[in-house]
Amino acid sequence: MNSVYFDNAATTQIREDVIDSITDVMRNNFGNPSSSHSFGRSSKSLIEHSRKAIASCLNVSASEIIFTSGGTEADNLVLKSAVKDLGVLHIITSKIEHHAVLHTLKALQKEDGLYLSYVNLDAKGEVDYSHLETLLQTEKKTLVSLMHVNNEIGNILNIKHVADLCKANNALFHSDAVQSVGHYKIDLQDVQVDFLAAAAHKFHGPKGVGFAFIRKNSGLKPLIVGGEQERGLRAGTESIHNIVGLETAMKTAYNNLDKEQLYIEELKQYFIDKVKSDIPNVMFNGHSADMNKSTYTLVNICLPIPPKKAAMLLFQLDLKGIACSKGSACQSGSNQNSHVLSEILSDEDLQKPSIRFSFSIYNTKEEVDYLIDVLKAFTQ
């Protein structure tokens, strides 16, 4: 049986150079970074070197990078502190954000009386920027939280336009960029977001580490308290090997970005062409088939299969050795429809199976051919 991994939006295979850097640190740099002796200073030096390297990729100051356990913690840190410490009373978001944002905002609405607004979306899940501008016309202190690249349908937000709208209306802007950091060049001097979240495992780094970009003098306070690590914004002994792994993954991603992006773009286009020709009436969710309006790393398709047969699709794909997803990995095990697709699909189309296939440099056209053959056999 073939073994094919098309679930890179959930997590990616760790690069060999990342594994090498992690294991080297684990063998040779075990000192606590907060210790004043040479072992501790050596570990601290590695962390600060990583911080500078990551900051350089985004064109920001090292002091603006705060290491976290991943995107979810970074989102929580920013959103909770914005309400509790910065006096934000109104947050504008969309109904197709990651649950790390949506569930956090719902909790803040319940606990702190946060006023929550949802920007309108069109039938493809694209943000209505005119409506966003209207929502920004308020005297309440406001923060906008919109993801850069949607993790299920791949839509790309015009992040610079949103940042400019926020600045013009004295609002703060937070973006979950978990699906875009490591895949797109982001110059945060040009794109004036106030806060941004990223996770290493989305671009061939280790799980359990990420970072929050927090612009200077933000006034944010820690979500986790205890020690003075991470400029006092994230207490707890740092995971040095993971931080160095994050640095290696990010530098490798950006050093090879143009070449790897071209390879994956060609693979995605090949998949789109094959599925259109071999499976009549297939539908592409959101802008995922549009190479200009969606990320090059994923496609989300709705297959013309009756509901009873559809219930077995993921199981059958797994039996054939194909890894993919019906939505976010954080929803695995749930029988509910994707909250993203529920916002943009008709009730009739929601009864059909929608599958997300996401690609990386480790995938091949031969794997796409095998996948299409399996899908074609199942839909006939």
* Residue intervals in the chain for CATH 3.40.640.10: 16-255
d(CA 67, CA 268): 32
Catalytic residue, from 57, 166, 302, 330: name it.
330
Which tokens is 65 given?
């990078």
Alpha-carbon distances, residue 227 vs 41, 233, 290 (angstroms): 17, 9, 47
Q: What is the pLDDT along the chain (380 residues), one digit of tens a residue?
A: 689 999 999 999 999 999 999 999 999 999 999 999 999 999 999 999 999 999 999 999 999 999 999 999 999 999 999 999 999 999 999 999 999 999 999 999 999 999 999 999 999 999 999 999 999 999 999 999 999 999 999 999 999 999 999 999 999 999 999 999 999 999 999 999 999 999 999 999 999 999 999 999 999 999 999 999 999 999 999 999 999 999 999 999 999 999 999 999 999 999 999 999 999 999 999 999 999 999 999 999 999 988 788 888 988 999 999 999 986 555 444 456 799 999 999 999 998 999 999 999 999 999 999 999 999 998 88
> What is the DSSP secondary structure assignment for residue 121, as one 8-state letter?
B
330 is catalytic: yes
- Both tokens of residue 156? 């790309």
| Three-state secondary structure call for residue 264 | helix
Buried b (16+ CB within 10 A) or exposed e, 248-269: bbbbbbbeebeebbebbeebbe
**4-12+257-379 has CATH 3.10.690.10 classification:** no
Residues of the chain with CATH 3.90.1150.10: 4-12+257-379
Q: Rounded to whole angstroms, how far apart are CA atoms 209 and 206?
A: 7
Task: Read off the pTM.
Answer: 0.95
Is it true that domain 16-255 has CATH number 1.10.1060.10? no
Phi, psi of 263 (to 5 degrees): -60, -45
C-alpha to C-alpha distance for 63 and 328, rounded to whole angstroms:
32
